[in-house]
Chain A
Amino acid sequence: MSRLATGGQIDRTQRIPFTFQGQTYLGYRGDTLASALLAQDVRLVARSFKYHRPRGILTAGSEEPNALVTIGTGDQLTPNCRATTQEIYHGLVARAQNCFPGLRFDLMALNDLLAPFFGAGFYYKTFMWPRPFWRRVYEPLIRRSAGLGALSGVADDGRYDKGFAHCDLLVIGAGPAGLMAAQVAARAGLDVILADEDFLVGGRLNSETHEIDAMPASRWAVKTRAALAQMENVRVMRRTTVTGVYDGGTYGALERVSEHLPSGSHDAPLQIFWRIVARRAILASGATERPIAFAGNDRPGIMMAGALRSYVNRFAVAPGRRISVFTNNDDGHRTAYDLAAAGLQIAAVIDTRPEARALGDYPLISGAQVVGTRGRLGLRAITIRTAGGLQEIASDCLGVSGGWNPAVHLSCHLNARPVWRDDIAAFVPAEAAVPGLIAAGAAAGEMSTAGALKSGAHAAATVLKALGKRPVQLTLPRAEDAPMALEPFWHVGGGRGRAWLDFQNDVTVKDVELAYRENFRSVEHMKRYTTLGMATDQGKTANMGALAIMAEMTGKSIPETGTTTFRPPYTPVPLGALGAHGRGKGFAPERLTPSHALLGEMGAPMLEVGLWYRPGWVPHANERHWRQSCDREALMVRASVGVSDVTTLGKIDVQGRDAGRFLDRVYCNTISNLPVGRVRYGLMLREDGMVMDDGTVARLGARHFVLTTTTGGADMVLAHLEFCQQVLWPDLDVAIVSVTEQWAQFAIAGPKSRALVNGLLRRKLGVGAFPFMACGTVRIGPTTARLFRISYSGEHAYEIAVPARYGEALARLLLARARTLGGGWYGMEALNVLRLEKGYVTHAEIDGRVTADDLGMGRMMAAGKDYIGKAMSTRPALCAPDREQLVGLKPAGALKRLHGGAHLFNPGQTPTRENDQGHITSQCFSPHLGHPIALALLRGGRARIGQNILMVDHLRQVETLCEICPPAFLDPKGERLRD
Chain B
Amino acid sequence: MIDLVPSSPLDGLLPRTVGGCSLSAMTPAFITAITARRGAQAALAAALASAHDLRLPPVGRSSGRGGMRLVWAGQGRYFLWADCPASPTLAKGAALSDHSDAWVVMSLTGALAPEVLSRLCPLDLRASVFRRGHSAAAEIARMPGILRRGAKGFEIAVMRSFAQTAVQRIVDAMTSVAAQSELPDG
Among A166, A589, A590, A744: residue with most chain B CB under 10 A: A589
Interface locus among A459-467, A669-677, A806-814: A806-814
Contacts of B3 in A (CB 8 A): 781-782
Q: Which residues of B contact A415 (CB under 8 A)?
A: none
A191, A268, A731, A737: the one within 8 Å of B35 (CB) = A737
Whether A737 pairs with B95 at a CB distance below 8 angstroms is yes
Separation of A810 and B4 alpha carbons in the complex (Å)? 7
- Min CB gap B108→A, angstroms: 16
Closest Cβ of chain B to A185, distance in Å, is 15
Interface status of A269 (Cβ within 8 A of chain B): yes
Contacts of A591 in B (CB 8 A): 159, 161-162
Known A-B contacts A733-B38, A781-B4; A269 and B180 likewise in contact (beta carbons under 8 Å): yes
Residues of the A chain whose Cβ atoms lie less than 8 Å from the Cβ of B186:
29, 199, 260
B98 within 8 Å of A (CB atoms): yes
- A143 on the B face (CB < 8 A): no
> Does chain A have a CB within 8 A of B77?
yes
In the complex, residue of chain B having the shortest beta-carbon distance to the beta carbon of A160? B176
Q: Nearest-CB distance from A579 to chain B (Å)?
A: 13
Query: In the complex, are the beta carbons of A741 and B176 less than 8 A apart?
Result: no
Tell me, yes or no, whether A656 is within 8 Å of chain B by CB.
Answer: yes
Contact B176 A655 (CB under 8 A): no
Most buried by A among B5, B97, B126, B166: B97
A161 at the interface (CB under 8 A from B): yes
B-side contacts of A653, CB under 8 Å: 33, 95, 97
| A592 engages B164 (CB within 8 Å) | yes
With a cutoff of 8 Å between Cβ atoms, the chain B residues found around residue A257 in the complex are 180, 183
Is B92 an interface position by the 8 A CB rule? Answer: no
Q: Cβ of A560 < 8 Å from any Cβ of B?
A: no
Min CB–CB distance B58 → chain A (angstroms): 19
Find chain A residues with CB under 8 A from B165 CB.
Answer: 589-590
List the one stretch of B49-57, B81-89, B99-107 in contact with chain A.
Answer: B99-107
> Knowing A591-B161, A804-B160 touch, does A742 contact B4 (C-beta < 8 A)?
no
Q: Contact string, B128-152, partner A, CB cutoff 8 A, digits 1/0?
A: 1100000000000111000000000
Q: Does B43 contact A (CB under 8 A)?
A: no
Q: Which of A742, A783, A810 contacts B98 (CB 8 A)?
A: A742
- In the complex the two chains form, is B102's CB within 8 Å of A742's CB? yes
Is B37's CB under 8 angstroms from A739's CB?
no
Residue of B nearest to A588 (CB): B142
Establish whether residues B35 and A277, one from each chain, have CB atoms under 8 Å apart when the complex forms: no
A163-B118, A733-B37 known; A267 and B9 CB under 8 Å?
no
**Closest CB-CB distance, A709 to chain B, in whole Å?**
16
Bound together, the chains give a CA A655 to CA B91 distance in angstroms of 11
Alpha-carbon distance A161/B97, docked complex (angstroms): 38
Interface centre among B75, B95, B182 (most CB of A within 10 A): B95
Alpha-carbon separation in the docked complex, A655 to B93 (Å): 12
The answer to whether A162 touches B119, judged by C-beta atoms less than 8 angstroms apart, is yes
> Across the interface, which residues of A come within 8 angstroms of B98, CB to CB?
739, 742, 803
Tally of chain A residues near chain B (CB < 8 A): 63
Known contacts A588-B142, A589-B166; is-contact A164 B122 (Cβ 8 Å): yes
Contact indicator A277/B142 (Cβ below 8 Å): no
Known: A730-B38, A737-B95. A809 touches B5 (CB 8 A): yes
In angstroms, Cα B185 to Cα A199, docked, is 11
Point out the residue from B38, B77, B163, B182 that lies within 8 Å of A737, measured CB to CB.
Answer: B77
Complex-state Cα separation, A593 to B129, whole angstroms: 37
* A803 and B176 form a contact (CB under 8 A): no
Is the beta-carbon distance between A804 and B101 smaller than 8 angstroms?
Answer: yes
Please state if A268 and B183 are interface contacts (CB–CB under 8 Å).
yes
Contacts of A162 on B, CB cut-off 8 Å?
Answer: 119
- Verify if A780 is at the interface (C-beta below 8 Å from B): yes
Q: How far is the CA of A258 from the CA of B118 in the complex (A)?
A: 19
By the criterion CB–CB under 8 Å, are A739 and B38 in contact? Answer: no
Which residues of B sit under 8 angstroms from A161, Cβ to Cβ?
119, 173, 176
**Is A726 in contact with chain B by the CB < 8 A criterion?**
yes
The docked-state distance in angstroms from the alpha carbon of A272 to that of B9 is: 31
Given contacts A257-B180, A267-B175, contact A805 B38 (CB under 8 A): no
- Cα A813 to Cα B103 in complex, Å, equals 24
Residue of B nearest to A783 (CB): B4
Closest to B142 in A: A589
How many angstroms between the C-alpha atoms of A223 and B100 in the bound complex? 55
Contacting residue for A166 out of B8, B94, B124, B160, CB 8 A: B124
Q: How far is the CB of B156 from chain A (nearest CB, A)?
A: 14
- Could you jot down 9 A-B contacts, CB within 8 Å? A164-B119, A191-B128, A268-B183, A581-B142, A589-B165, A655-B95, A739-B33, A781-B4, A805-B6
Closest 9 CB pairs of A and B: A735-B95, A267-B179, A735-B35, A591-B161, A804-B101, A655-B95, A741-B102, A805-B6, A781-B2
What is A's interface to B at a CB cutoff of 8 Å?
Answer: 29, 159, 161-166, 191, 199, 257-258, 260-261, 266-269, 272, 275, 277, 581, 586, 588-593, 612, 647, 653, 655-656, 726, 730-733, 735-737, 739-744, 760, 780-783, 802-810, 813
